[in-house]
Structure 1
Amino acid sequence: MNRVRVLLFNSAIGPLDYSVPAGMELPAGSVVQVPLGPRRIDGIVWDAGALDATEVEASRLRPVAARHDIPPLSAPLRRLIDWTADYYLAPPAAVARMALPSGSLLGPGRAITEYRLNGSVPVRMTPQRQKAYDALEGAQATVRELAALAEVSEGVIRSLVQSGAFEAVEVPVDRPYPRPDPDHITPVLNDEQREAATRLAQAVAAAEPTPFLLDGVTGSGKTEVYFEAVAQALRQGKQTLLLLPEIALTQPFLTRIEKRFGTTPVAWHSGLKQTERRRAWNAIITGDARIIVGARSALFLPYANLGVIIVDEAHETSFKQEDGVRYNARDVAVMRGRFEGCPVVLSSATPALESRVMAEAGRYEALTLTHRYGGAQLPRIALIDLTENPPPRGQWIAPPLIEAMRERLERGEQTLLFLNRRGYAPLTLCRNCGHRFKCPNCSAWMVDHRLSGRLACHHCGHAEPSPSACPECGESDCLVACGPGVERIADEVAAIFPQARRAIVTSDTIWSPEKAAEFVAAVEARAIDIIIGTQLVTKGYHFPDLTLVGVIDADIGLEGGDLRAGERTFQQIAQVSGRAGRAAKPGEVFLQTRHPDAPVIDALVHGDREAFYAAETQARRDANVPPFGRLAAIIISSEDHDEARDAARQTGASAPELDGFAVYGPAPAPLSLLRGRHRFRLLVHARRNVEMQRIIRQWLDPMRWPPGVRVAVDVDPYSFV
């Protein structure tokens, strides 16, 4: 072959053909650098005929400029990229880009220079220098990373280096990782766990491409069960990929793996330093990294020899990417297991309805754990009807829950209060003129954050200092916080129990694996009495002395028209309830609600999970929505409202009329302005046997929109805003 097709890392161009220089070997999957106009661009040599490209005469082809010194991407990974691009209607280049780091990190690495404070204080200390000096105690990183950590310019860091305040440290980037030991600790499993663990180990040993649904109640020891699959993969010299829904969970989980296998696994998430990312990526593609723990992006890494994929808390909606390539990591993990020839374990105490239906149909193999490990009992769940037993005026915690908290404090036990709303209050208004604080870039209210003294938009990140007067009428002392967030609940707890030690746990306070580790250590050391948190505290934590959970507003997730609202509410409350009574001390859960007769609330109180899932399944079947029907959202946006509206109407007017394929809209999106762009949505609803992606592609590909219009397709949407 004297020509190859290269998938360029530029979605706007598509694949191009190049000639192969004499003496250069370029098997499919090779990562190369090719000329494009006057510059060079990275790309991947793709399988012949797999991607369409304009045929060019051989004499006109430009030669490949260079090949990066890394192993080619494997055939299973290339198949996964093709499948993901086809299923989620995404450019193949955008999917392939997730498999590789930036070009500067490709190939074997040399030693890199990092810097750390050496204790010397510069003679001239400006405010920015002092800020950096105070923030970087104990840190070691590159100049760019130190600047980001300290929130100063790179010039400030360089000036401190030149003044002698920092010392240079040479860091070898590709040093090998310690090898985990599958038999470092042999866990004691009960009969139920042992049966499930044996089946998973058998599947790993036989390289069965079987998806497993590991469905176990909270505290049943699912982690110890799938660790046996990890151990079997290690014995065979294979790699394990373990996906987590939140990077904040990573550090406590790494510690847990270290206790079981004797060494810390390899982490992959957005919080890694450049040197850590290079080292991890090179160890993954060579097979040196044996256990990899990561966020959803770790799914597309070029593993040398995958033995098992585990998706922990597989029901979590954060596995669905909401921008760029809008894939669901849970479903793509199943496909990667099929292509790689290895089992995939979806672990959850509250599986997604889609996963349960697949298990009932025999597409997934179900493994069930029905009891908590070590004799611990599931917590008792009680209702607090807020229409009959409301909190005092201006407060949010009902008297029965306050009394239960007081009992826990007297006994030296811990309490968790759950409210899935960050900040102090979701809305601030002026009692004088009625002005409401809205985001200038989004059709959303600004959220009051008292801890940081700012109003913030949770959709685009816009923030501004909290005002002392109304900007509309100029009146001071007239701004009113409406509704509670976790910060407001924390203030109420402080007023009722001033002696209690409190911790607020949200993405504002736990923004890194290190912060999560600090929080876990504080709880385990009994340095915290009452935790007030959002959904971040519902996942994976095991605190033996936490015996009381209070759900401040059990109805909050039932609002809106989301088809999964009931399922999400059930999952979230069941998960947070599962934090209580996980050891010898019994647990208790109080749900504050204004709708005690709602089916989801009734199922939670009576512990009737199967009845809830059965009713939810039948409702979805009757409506022919996922998993029994197909949905896709088409989001059309522009900075100009009329341009977005006209483009949406044009798109809707050309929608195909086919049996089993319906298009609704366009209509303004519920979040009609996002990050300065006006948004309109169309919803595609199709029968399961309809080739929805092919129809959408044939519909949209010929269309041409103005340059300012963006069109995004979200297959199997989870967000309807």
Structure 2
Amino acid sequence: MPTETKRADSAAAAGDPASQDNAARDSGARNSTAAAAEQILGVLLPLALFQPYDYLVPGDFALRRGDFVTVPLGRRLVTGVVWGEGAGDVPREKLKAVAQRLPVAPLPAITCDFIDWVAQYCMAPLGAVLRMAMSVPEALQPERQQKAWAPGDADPASRKLTPQRAKVLQFVADQPPLPATELARATGVTTAVIAAMGKLGLLKQVPLPLPRPYGRPDADAAGPNLSSAQADAAAALARLQPGVTLIDGVTGSGKTEVYFEAIAATLRAGRQVLVLVPEIALTPQWLTRFEARFGAPPAQWHSELTGLARRLTWRGVHDGSARVVVGARSALFLPYRDLGLIIVDEEHESAFKQEDGVIYQARDMAVVRGHLAKIPVILASATPSLETMVNVEGGRYGAVHLPARHGGAQLPEIGLIDLRVDKPPRQSWIAPSLRAELAATLATGDQALLFLNRRGYAPLTLCRTCGHRLQCPRCTAWLVEHRFHQKLMCHHCGFEQMMPPSCPACLSEGSFAACGPGVERLAEEAAALFPEARRLVLTSDTVTGPARADQLMKMVAAREVDLVIGTQIIAKGHNFPHLTLVGVVDADLGLHGGDLRAAERTFQLMSQVAGRAGRGMKPGHVLLQTHDPDRHVMQALKSGDRDAFMAAEAEDRRAAGMPPFGRLAALILSGRDEAAVQQKARELARAAPHRAGITVLGPAPAPLALLRGRHRLRFLLKTRREIAPQGVLRHWLRGQKFPGDLRLQIDIDPYSFM
């Protein structure tokens, strides 16, 4: 790295008085020990940096790897982490000194090692990976405390006691200190009464830590009765042997209750547990089950948390008081004090792949995190990924099996509707046979689900007069009409606009037509067919967070809804005992676009959707509408022969040298100047490696050739399994410059090819 990028040019924090005061105090301490030897250490900053910066450490500072420190960078002070010995490539006289060591415990050594590993494997800036572990900078500051009221020092006999004051004094005598609002509520007085008693010395204020947004689970709480298969699986997992184990269980087999036993064993050992889930919408029912099992809520980690909850949870993970954490993929990078178990629920889900910033696959990184710490990792799924199944077959992972639904419920029967024969009426999307099944199900008082994995009202809006299509101005994507919000929206960059009154191409007024169905249009058709049915649309547009998800799922479970219409957000993890029919409106939707995992993903999604049916005492029935019922994946879904389907998928991938039998890395070159992007792509193509076992495809325009105003070209590097693509890429890209706003994004093990 060039010397100028390794240099910190100023020791003062602009506009940060607290930082300046701390710097001044520490500067005084350094001056008094000027003769002491100064060490050079590398400090990693949570910025897009590939290596730490060197700083001088005064002789009176005792620093070690993981310590949080403030250091001068330019005209400000920033917080970073001591990473190790300095590189020594900057002259000593140009180095600045560490300003302060923060009074918090260091970042755990295993977290530091994990950050190093992820950065190397994903070819991401080391500082950007650290930023994920330091995602709540406020948590490094001294913890705020709330003020509570306790009995004061004044003699009550010397003060005039009203009945209200006497009631408060009687209450606080037998209670721990309480904040004013809670004390007032408990005694039926106003906060003004509390404040007046404080002035009289009848009460006094004492500091209390802020209440944590999680409890302390009871590992010894009694669990439910397990079936023999569940008990055997739970016993195997509760041994807590290091390594990876798959819970391979059909939908409704009780996988959650099985891994709860491993959680209990880990808690009894005094260690922390992490449970990764792919969607925050999955958490409400999971949280209810967890609290019923362990008597207290776990800590949560997802994007919907308030700032205070994030700060308290981060500190709780760091100090060990947060015993169990359930969260989205970013929870993997929290600074666990003593992590003893990782569980990845619905491990096959593509939502575990982070596509922006640091690009990583959370399931795979969870396996690495477990390996580094020598702790068990549990993967759970009814439809495991091909990568996981190959690892089980190769003996690298263990497995426990739950082949039957719990409580005697039966797996649903899956049937295919050939849309070439059983055609829906014009401008409709529900085939006659599915309509009849829906009518029969609703007539018996049972619930039904219509599934279409497409948000909005229609995927395309065009002018009837001239054929003009409404497209996002910043992306190679059509604008999607959302009638619930009265907007046109881009699902890739978030651009929004109102429906124009006239066509921008031919100026025709009122000429726009919606083409194709989205889930909102499907809801409109269902309303016309079944006007008496109580309907609920479940998409990421309506399920806006865990609280809203909990409310909507409870409505379904309480039979306040007859017909659910939803996208993939409804496909997994939910238990609706009165839902007996699932109709998939377009089972072919995920098979388009050339994705190498398209058939696997379709099988997984359709199986998960089908698994919502028949989870109670009544049998379930599933109908998949398809234009190609003879396709291998459709026949596999109908027969329920998952293993045969996955074996065929494995053979196809093996023959093509595709993952998990080969390795892939994607390079996405982008910039606002299309000519500059193309010129740089040609330069990269000329330097591309050519040797046995390595293939470079491209450059080619990305399917989304314009995204957020940036033109995009893609390369795909394919190597044999034994050749690590990272080394090939480092050699290929050595010395390459990306001037202006040109940007090269590297995706190791790509899942998206957009």
Q: Is the 8 A contact 1:174 1:278 kept in 2?
A: no
* Corresponding residue to 2:333 among 300, 321, 335: 300
Q: Could you say if the C-alpha distance between residues 570 and 175 of structure 1 is closer, same or farther in structure 2, counting changes exceeding 3 Å?
A: closer
CA drift of 1:59 comes to: 5.0
The yes-or-no answer on 1:629 pairing with 2:662 is yes
TM superposition shift of 1:425: 0.4
User: For 1:572 and 1:691, how far apart are their aligned partners in 2?
Assistant: 31
List runs of 5+ in structure 1 lacking aligned partners.
Answer: 114-169
Q: Partner residue of 1:385? A: 418
CA distance in 2 between counterparts of 1:580 and 1:691 reads 43
Deviation at 1:282, TM superposition (A): 0.4
Q: Which residue of 2 aligns with 1:180?
A: 217
1:261 paired residue number:
294
Q: Aligned residue for 1:148?
A: none
Q: Deviation at 1:500?
A: 0.6
- Which residue in 1 is equivalent to 2:105? 71
Taking the aligned partners of 2:590 and 2:212, their CA distance within structure 1 comes to: 47
What TM-score, normalized by structure 2, do the two folds share?
0.85
Please tell me whether residue 28 in structure 1 is matched to residue 62 in structure 2.
Answer: no
Mapped pair 1:192 → 2:226: no
Q: What residue is the counterpart of 2:534 in the other structure?
A: 501
Alpha carbons 1:547, 1:587 under 8 Å: kept: yes
What's the counterpart of residue 153 of structure 1?
Answer: none
**1:290 and 2:319 aligned:** no
Q: Which amino acid aligns with 1:349?
A: A
Once the two structures are superposed, residues 170-223 of structure 1 have per-residue CA deviations (whole angstroms, 9 ceiling, x without a partner) of: 9954648431112323211111111111111002xxxx3211111110001000
Matching residue of 1:353: 386
Q: Which amino acid aligns with 2:521?
A: R
Whole-Å separation in 1 of the counterparts to 2:610 and 2:699: 40
Cα deviation for residue 41 of structure 1 reads 1.5
1:73 positional shift: 1.5
Look up the equivalent residue of 2:625 and give its one-letter code: Q
| CA positional deviation for 1:8 | 1.6
Tell me, yes or no, if the aligned pair for 1:107 and 1:282 is still in contact at 8 Å: no
Deviation of 1:10 (Å): 2.2
Q: Is the 8 A contact 1:16 1:54 kept in 2?
A: no
Paired with 1:554 and 1:250, the residues of 2 have a C-alpha distance of: 26
Distance 1:694 1:348 in 2: 33
CA apart distance, 1:13: 7.0
Q: Alignment identity in percent?
A: 54
RMSD between superposed Cα atoms in Å? 1.6
Aligned pairs for 1:527-542 within 5 A? 527-542=560-575
Match of 1:311 in 2: 344
Letter in 2 for 1:480: A
Tell whether 2:254 aligns with 1:217. no
How many angstroms does 1:307 deviate by? 1.4
2:497 matched residue in structure 1: 464
Pick which of 9-18 and 239-248 moved more: 9-18
CA distance in 1, matches of 2:357, 2:239: 37
Please name the residue that 1:709 is paired with.
742
Matching of residue 445 in structure 1 with residue 478 in structure 2:
yes
How many residues are treated as equivalent by the alignment? 658
Is 1:681 aligned to residue 718 of structure 2? no
Greater Cα shift, 587-596 or 55-64: 55-64
Work out which of the residue numbers 14, 38, 43 in structure 1 matches 2:80.
43
> 1:410 corresponds to which residue?
443
Q: Distance in 2 between matches of 1:42 and 1:54?
A: 21
Cα distance in 2 for residues equivalent to 1:472 and 1:2: 68
Residue aligning to 1:147: none
Per-residue CA distance 1:104-154 (angstroms, 9 max, x = gap):
3323321489xxxxxxxxxxxxxxxxxxxxxxxxxxxxxxxxxxxxxxxxx
Q: Does 1:368 align with 2:401?
A: yes
Tell me: CA distance 1:437–1:257, structure 2 relative to 1, closer, same or farther (3 Å): same
Shift of 1:293: 0.5
Aligned residue for 2:360, secondary structure, equals coil
Query: d(CA) in 2 for partners of 1:12 and 1:238?
Result: 33
1:588 — aligned with what? Answer: 621
Would you say the 8 A contact 1:430–1:480 is kept in 2? yes
Query: 1:3 maps to which residue?
Result: 40
Look up the match of 1:599.
632
User: What's 1:118 paired with?
Assistant: none
In structure 2, the residue matched to 1:329 is 362
Q: 1:525 aligns with which of 558, 561, 566?
A: 558
| Equivalent runs, 1:203-214 vs 2, <5 Å | 203=240, 208-214=241-247
- The corresponding residue for 1:101 is 135
Q: 2: CA distance between counterparts of 1:300 and 1:477? A: 51
What is the alpha-carbon distance in structure 1 between the residues aligned to residue 396 and residue 91 of structure 2? 47
Does the 8 Å CA contact 1:549/1:590 hold for their aligned counterparts? yes
Report deviation, 1:700: 1.2
Deviations 1:684-719 (A, max 9, x none): 000111132012012213101222100000000000
| CA drift at 1:611 | 1.0
Partner AA of 2:545 in structure 1: S
Does residue 691 (structure 1) correspond to residue 724 (structure 2)? The answer is yes
Q: In the alignment, is the contact (CA less than 8 A) between 1:506 and 1:536 conserved in 2? A: yes
- 1:248 alignment counterpart: 281
- Structure 1 residues 665, 420: CA separation in 2 closer, same or farther (over 3 Å shift)? same
Partners of 1:257 and 1:563 in 2: CA distance: 37
- 1:552 is aligned, of 577, 581, 585, to 585
SS in 2 for 1:47: strand
Confirm whether residue 86 of structure 1 aligns to residue 120 of structure 2. yes
Paired letter, 1:36: L
State how far apart, in whole Å, the 2-side matches of 1:243 and 1:654 are.
40
Aligned CA distance change for structure 1 residues 40 and 477 (closer, same or farther; 3 Å) = same
Q: How many Å separate the matches in 1 of 2:482 and 2:208?
A: 40
Q: Deviation at 1:412?
A: 1.1
1:647 and 1:92 mapped to 2: Cα distance?
A: 25
Deviation at 1:60, TM superposition (A): 4.3
In 1, Cα distance between equivalents of 2:273 and 2:368 = 16
The higher radius of gyration belongs to 2
User: 2: CA distance between counterparts of 1:22 and 1:83?
Assistant: 31
- Amino acid of the structure 1 residue aligned with 2:648: A
Q: Does 1:667 align with 2:704?
A: no
Check whether the contact 2:298–2:325 (CA below 8 A) recurs between aligned residues. yes
Q: Distance in 2 between matches of 1:367 and 1:236?
A: 22
Amino acid at match of 1:55: D
Asked whether 1:341 is paired with 2:378, we answer: no
Q: In the alignment, is residue 281 of structure 1 matched against residue 314 of structure 2?
A: yes
Structure 2: unaligned runs, 5 residues or longer:
1-37, 148-206
SS of the equivalent of 1:695 reads helix
Ranges of 4+ aligned residues in structure 1 off by more than 6 Å: none
Structure 1 residue aligned with 2:191: none
State the TM-score, normalized to the length of structure 1: 0.89
Q: Does 1:18 align with 2:55?
A: yes
Task: Give, in whole Å, the separation in 2 of the partners of 1:228 and 1:640.
Answer: 56
Residue 165 of structure 1: aligned partner: none
Q: Does the residue aligned with 2:317 lie in a helix, a strand or coil?
A: helix
Cα 1:683–1:475 change in 2 (3 A) is same
Question: In the alignment, is the contact (CA less than 8 A) between 2:668 and 2:715 conserved in 1?
Answer: yes
Q: Which residue of 1 aligns with 2:11?
A: none
What letter corresponds to residue 622 of structure 2 in structure 1? V
CA contact (8 A) 2:65 2:82 kept: yes
The answer as to whether partners of 1:112 and 1:275 remain within 8 angstroms in 2 is no
Instruction: Give the Cα–Cα distance (whole angstroms) in 2 for the partners of residues 635 and 93 of structure 1.
Output: 21
Q: Residue 495 of structure 2 aligns to which amino acid in structure 1?
A: H
Aligned partners of 2:70 and 2:100 also within 8 Å: yes
Q: CA deviation at 1:54?
A: 5.0
Whole-angstrom CA distance in 2 between matches of 1:229 and 1:646: 55
Secondary structure of 1:202's partner? coil
What letter matches 2:267 in structure 1? L
Distance 1:61 1:467 in 2: 59
CA distance in 2, matches of 1:674, 1:247: 26
> In 2, are the aligned partners of 1:439 and 1:446 still within 8 Å (CA)?
yes
Change (3 A) 1:112 1:564: farther
